[in-house]
Amino acid sequence: MKFDTPATTNPIDQLKVIGKAHDRIDGPRKTTGTATYAYEHHDVAPNAAYGYILGSAIAKGRIASIGLADAKAAPGVLAIVTADNAGKLTKGNFNTANLLGGPEIQHYHQAIAMVVAESFEQARAAASLIRVDYARAKGSFDLATARDTATEPGGGDKDSKVGDFAGAFAAAPVQFDATYSTPDHAHAMMEPHASIAAWEGDRLTVWTANQMIAWGKGDVAKTLGIPAENVRLVSPFIGGGFGGKLFVRTDAILAALGARAAGRPVKVALPRPFMFNNTPHRPATIQRIRIGTTADGRITAIGHESWSGDLPGGGPETAVNQTKLLYAGANRLTAMRLAVLDLPEGNAMRAPGEAPGLMALEIAMDEAAEKLELDPIAFRVLNDTQVDPAKPERPFSQRQLNECLRIGADKFGWARRTRPAGLRDGRWLVGMGVAAAFRNNINMKSAARVKLDGDGLVTVETDMTDIGTGTYTIVAQTAAEMMGVPLEKVVVKLGDSDFPISAGSGGQWGANSATAGVYAACVKLREAVAARLGFNSADTVFANGKVRSGNRSVPLAKAAGPDGLVAEDIMEYGDLAKKYQQSTFGAHFVEVGVDAATAEIRIRRMLAICAAGRILNPKSARSQVIGAMTMGAGAALMEELAVDKRFGFFVNHDLAGYEVPVHADIPHQEVIFLEETDPTTSPMKAKGVGELGICGVGAAVANAIYNATGVRVRAYPITLDKLIDRLPPMA
């Protein structure tokens, strides 16, 4: 099916199942421990051996020699894989570093060997017996130091200039110019990167934790140099990803190599420190923002420059992208510079670009508003735009940012906000902060197969994944709505490369795109049902488990016949996304308390207002947003990968040293979804929301801290040491 004109009324608009707050259909399996994750497929790969990966002890240089004799002689050892015996490996499409290093070392904890043994303990013990001599080389590990050597990235990350930014900024009656920084962040999901690999002849099956099955299948095939048709990836349940499992990683490739070397299935899970230093992370940024305005607060010039780093061949953290679209202004500049850093690979993490970019931009908007003596919300509303500022002929398909700010201000009690350091509650300094939320909508082609059997059961198959986001449920809701059956009459099968290729889970495109693919397949199935019954498909109604046309009504199960019916289709897109700027919007409100004596920060309240098209399941969507708000709070107050700038590794590479929010850190969170449908995005009229929820949260927290204390911090995370000697005196 080709979606190239805005959607009109269709079966989804019945809203009998879609749009309802359903419990997750996979919830009982997950809460009872019967959902099978990557490392737990014991039944499909019996007699599996265990792999334990040895990571490089240096960040840059070469392996001078590697001694395996003691490890080979250790109890239970079946095989040892290194670059010397792995055969020719090709770097995949989505990894910057080689997934098996040697003799060249590209980053700390790059995999350099894997021991395969009868038990995990034997594999780990044997790995400790491998003797490696390194020739260490000088590396670059500090973004601040490397900033001056950074260059303009290639590809589509060129500077963007509209009008005369330099001239307009110089001439602006009010000028604001400040620099902000965000640190490296880790995904820190609960489930480690894990895989089980098994060969059957020349066909490889990998049970793994992967968000994008088709991408992963292609990368496994490319890396190992085997035909893609000989690779199957299976990933029905994923225990969190946040972008860290978008791409195939070391565990999958070395499990496959180990299984081939040992002649039996091999299972591999990365230890927690490897998840920080071996897999991708969100790169640190340095961001300079300049805003020039008229005396009454209208932006005439806005510039956003960002510096980040990655391994050679990597890409930038696209922290300036939202600034191209969020606020009006005739003269504009966005620019990114990329430094070469010999740290572990930088790559996608929840809302790449916008999450750290808004952490800077939305503080800058507050600071500029203060300079203008304007309320921060009034300043944002004044500079709203209903068109792409760089292409005024291109309108936003939907843009309710001002409505988000207005409703949020009313619900949160914004009118009670005082001047900075103007409100105390005992020993606590209390303040409120706000930030706009923005994330682009992306449509990805997505396919599905839908089956109808003689019992009236509808089965959906697609390689779409569920990373804890509720995909199983919204896919089932879509099929139920389209076929006129209750939710319990739908079976959903996900995460298998033998199924039709879907959008996958990433970039906030999964929900709308994957359900649109199911919609397309259901349209074909409806046509097949109508044809079998001799109905006119144009006036056929599917409801209450029956098919009705005119005065005839037949049970859906009967239409299936003895052999059932199967339909498959793919949703593809025309140029609507070029005609309209498709984006999601929101507003975050935060209240904090700061201890006037110790500078301890406590978040007291959080509110998110979201405008993101049709919300397919408000219950699971709310879970996505409050989870994102929690991540945003972590980014604001505690998360920071500490770089050892001498030896090039993340020191706090576990959940003891890398702090993330816990229950005690997060107070009441409220989420409000605005009524909205966007007919330009798909027949579902939906958009994504899972990444919108993190965008702007960090700045809202920072702005609240400033309002509470009168102390402005521009370097994240905002820890008490950055406040304590600058706080107003105790009353």
Residues with active-site annotation: 691
Q: What would the two tokens of residue 318 be?
A: 């696209």
Q: What would the two tokens of residue 324 be?
A: 């191209």
| CA dihedral over 97, 100, 102, 105, signed as positive or negative | positive
Report which of 111, 131, 127, 109 is spatially closest to residue 119, judged by C-alpha positions: 127
Measure the CA–CA gap between 729 and 712, rounded to whole angstroms: 16
Amino acid, single-letter form, for residue 483: M
Which strands, in side-by-side order, build the sheet including 490-493? 2-3, 565-573, 446-452, 458-461, 490-493
Report which of 397, 371, 378 is spatially closest to residue 386, judged by C-alpha positions: 397
For 607-643, give the DSSP string. EEEEE-BB-S-HHHHHHHHHHHHHHHHHHHHT--PPE
Report which of 439, 289, 282 is spatially closest to residue 361, judged by C-alpha positions: 289
Three-state secondary-structure class, residue 95: coil
Report which of 520, 626, 508 is spatially closest to residue 211, judged by C-alpha positions: 508
Measure the CA–CA gap between 194 and 261, rounded to whole angstroms: 19
Q: Is cis: bond before 717, omega within 30 of 0?
A: yes
Taking the C-alpha atoms of 369, 374, 377 and 383 in order, what is their torsion angle to the nearest 10 degrees?
-70
The helix/strand count (H/E) of the chain reads as: 17, 32
Q: What would the two tokens of residue 214 be?
A: 């088709």
Name the strand (E) or helix (H) holding 483: helix 471-483
Q: What would the two tokens of residue 393 be?
A: 């002929």
Give the pairing type, strands 49-55 and 266-269.
Answer: parallel
Measure the CA–CA gap between 388 and 559, rounded to whole angstroms: 49
Contact 134, 63 (CB under 8 A): yes
Name the strand (E) or helix (H) holding 274: helix 272-277
Q: List CB contacts of 306: < 8 A, sequence separation 6 or more.
A: 285, 286, 287, 288, 316, 317, 318, 319, 320, 335, 336, 337, 357
Measure the CA–CA gap between 314 and 153, rounded to whole angstroms: 9
Contact 660, 725 (CB under 8 A): no
Contact 390, 162 (CB under 8 A): yes
Kindly provide the b/e burial profile for residues 399-420, where b requires at least 16 CB atoms within 10 angstroms of the residue's own CB.
Answer: bbbbbbbbbbbeebebeebeeb
Measure the CA–CA gap between 600 and 606, rounded to whole angstroms: 18
Measure the CA–CA gap between 642 and 492, rounded to whole angstroms: 42
- Count how many residues are written for the chain: 731
Name the strand (E) or helix (H) holding 428: strand 428-440
Within a 10 A sphere around the Cβ of 716, how many other Cβ atoms?
Answer: 28
**Centroid of chain to Cα 673:** 20
Give the pairing type, strands 203-208 and 49-55.
Answer: unpaired
Report which of 476, 498, 495, 496 is spatially closest to residue 487, judged by C-alpha positions: 476
Name the strand (E) or helix (H) holding 555: strand 552-555
Measure the CA–CA gap between 257 and 82, rounded to whole angstroms: 9
